[in-house]
Amino acid sequence: MRNENMTHTNHRLVWVFFVCKKRSGIMSRLYKYRMILRFILMANILFIFIVAGLGYEKEKREHLLKPVSGNVGKRLTPVGKTVGIYVNTKGILVIDTCDVTDLYGNTTSPAKNKLIKGDYITALNSEKISTKKQLINEITKCDGKDLDFSVDRNGKKINVVVSPVETGVNMYKIGIWVRDDLQGLGTVTYVENGKFGALGHSITDSDTGKLMKVSGGKLYLADIYGVEKGISGTPGEIEGMITYDDDNVVGSIEENKLYGIYGSVTDDFLQSISDEESLEVADESEVTEGNAQIQTFVSGEKTLYDIQIVNIHKNKNGDKEMEIKVTDKRLITLTGGIVQGMSGSPIIQNEKIIGAVTHVFVNDPTRGYAIFIDKMYKQ
């Protein structure tokens, strides 16, 4: 019994072992299948991640390559007020040379081919000078001795020696026309945090045609009493009176650049425009041909006048990037269109400040040019 039982038991053990071994083989294969499936699943997931990652990187690169306006969210307060402008030259500007007659009736030109149009005289005999009055005094008392001028010529510092001519008893001249300051009317385009931009173009000397190097200047209140209307062939102008005293100062000019003059305004000036709302700065890519408005105080109060942007010259150097036409009958009746003194008047389109008036067509005062505010502001 014991042996049979044992045998039976042994058979049982063998069978159990065989079954277990058989099940173990099945389990092993199932395990392998699971591992293969897991591997395939992980490979698919990894592939998806790689593809998604590549797509993200591509999208990221494409995003980085897209042009983005540097003016996103930037806001300026458009102004349009006409002000008096006074600038001092950085030295005394030579406009031209001329002949002088000496005591004996001889005509000569002492400075010819020595001092030239566009030179800035900064010192005489090593003494700094900045006004015409100083220059005249120094030449008058030179007693006929050679004069050593320190000159800024196209950015280079040079020295020029000129021999004066006695034109009267103890009176000496060297035969030059000079300028040491410039005055006029212009329009403030915008204000931002107490800083202003105006004109939309540089202040250039009318005789030399060159950008004036300025040492500083002031903005003054201007009493506008009328407008000389523009007609074909004759541009009009704003007529006003400027009192150059400290009580009338509304700003300080710090820079004269290619696309405008820049500086700071007084608290009183800021108070005078405190009701004005700031506008978003438009990128030049947002500017379109069609309807727009000029903001100006030429009538005595702030008014928006309708204009048309008839042509856009993108990527054009200078301050003639938009060709504009005044269509508002109110402004045409008042001024004839665009007049001198309106340079800098802000242009608004789609509730954004897009540019400033810079030029008027002589043969048609209703037409003119403007600069993108984007270019003027970035400068």
Q: Looking at 328, 345, 359, 374, which residue is catalytic? A: 328
Which of these, 312, 344, 340, lies nearest to 325 by C-alpha position? 312
Query: What distance in Å separates the CA atoms of residue 260 and residue 252, rounded to the nearest whole number?
Result: 14
Catalytic residue, from 119, 180, 201, 359: name it. Answer: 201
Tell me phi and psi for residue 140, to 5 degrees.
-60, -35
Q: How big is the chain by its Cα radius of gyration, in Å?
A: 39
Spatial contact of 149 and 121, defined as CB atoms under 8 Å apart: yes
The token pair that represents 248 in the structure block = 């009338």
Query: Which residues make Cβ contacts (< 8 Å) with residue 203, sequence separation at least 6?
Result: 85, 87, 182, 211, 212, 214, 256, 261
328 is catalytic: yes
Burial class, 65, CB count within 10 angstroms (exposed 0-12 / middle 13-18 / buried 19+): exposed
Q: Is 96 a catalytic residue?
A: no
Considering 343, 345, 359, 374, which one is annotated as catalytic? Answer: 343
Spell out the residues 6+ positions from residue 335 whose beta carbon is closer than 8 angstroms to its own.
227, 229, 230, 236, 298, 342, 365
Q: Which residues are catalytic?
A: 201, 328, 343
